[in-house]
Every structure is written in C-alpha cells, then in structure tokens.
Amino acid sequence: EAGVAQSPRYKIIEKRQSVAFWCNPISGHATLYWYQQILGQGPKLLIQFQNNGVVDDSQLPKDRFSAERLKGVDSTLKIQPAKLEDSAVYLCASSPRIAGGGETQYFGPGTRLLVL
C-alpha cells in the first residue's frame, strides 16, 4: 500500500511570510497527526485529527498555526506569519483506528522548513 505522502519536501521562506504543508495519509486511516521536529529533538505533536474532527490541538500555537482536514482525508498545516524558531521538520503521520488507543503510527518523509 502507498505510504503517507507529504509535500513539499523542502521550503525556504523569510520570517513573517506564510507557508502551507500538505499531507495525504494512508488510505482508510482515520487518525492523522502533525508533528514538529526541531533539529536534535524528538517529534512534538501539534495536532491530531480523527476523521475531520480535532482530537488534540493543545500544543498547537494557534496564534500562527492552523490546520484542517476537510472531508477526513488529506490535511494542510499553515503557518502565518512564520518566525525563525519555526525552522524544523514537519512530520505527518496516520493510524488506522480511532484515536486514543496508542496505535502504531505511520510517518511521511516530512517537510523541512527553513525560516530566514
């Protein structure tokens, strides 16, 4: 089966600009996650969707970050405006069952963002 797809793979922007990332999860997976991974650290969960509803966005900086999962399939994560500290890899993951069960997560290759 096809894995989690993400685009773009790399993005360089100037601070205060906007940027959007796209994720297409594995077909049929109900739960979708966005993580931020700063260099040298582990991934940090930003937001978790179950179908098209938000399950957990407690660590999402809502003043500048937004995410949606229309129709419960693919998802976009937006940063507006970007700050230097947003430079990181943004990982998308999906899992087949409903959220809350600690299921195996399947990760995409990530989008590497550099904010200058």
Partner 1 sequence: SQQGEEDPQALSIQEGENATMNCSYKTSINNLQWYRQNSGRGLVHLILIRSNEREKHSGRLRVTLDTSKKSSSLLITASRAADTASYFCAPSSGSRLTFGEGTQLTVNP
Residues that bind partner 1 (CB under 8 A): 4, 40-45, 48, 56, 91, 93, 100-102, 104-110, 112
Backbone angles phi, psi at 101, to 5 degrees: -105, 5
User: Nearest distance from residue 56's CB to partner 1, in Å?
Assistant: 6
86-113: b or e for each residue (b if 16 or more CB lie within 10 Å)? bbbbbbbbbbeeebeeeeebbebebbbb
User: Nearest distance from residue 27's CB to partner 1, in Å?
Assistant: 18
Return the number of the residue (91 or 113) whose C-beta is nearest partner 1: 91
Return the number of the residue (10 or 62) whose C-beta is nearest partner 1: 10
User: Nearest distance from residue 108's CB to partner 1, in Å?
Assistant: 5
The amino acid occupying position 6 is: Q
User: Nearest distance from residue 60's CB to partner 1, in Å?
Assistant: 12
> Which residues lie across from 67 on neighbouring strands?
77
Return the number of the residue (28 or 42) whose C-beta is nearest partner 1: 42
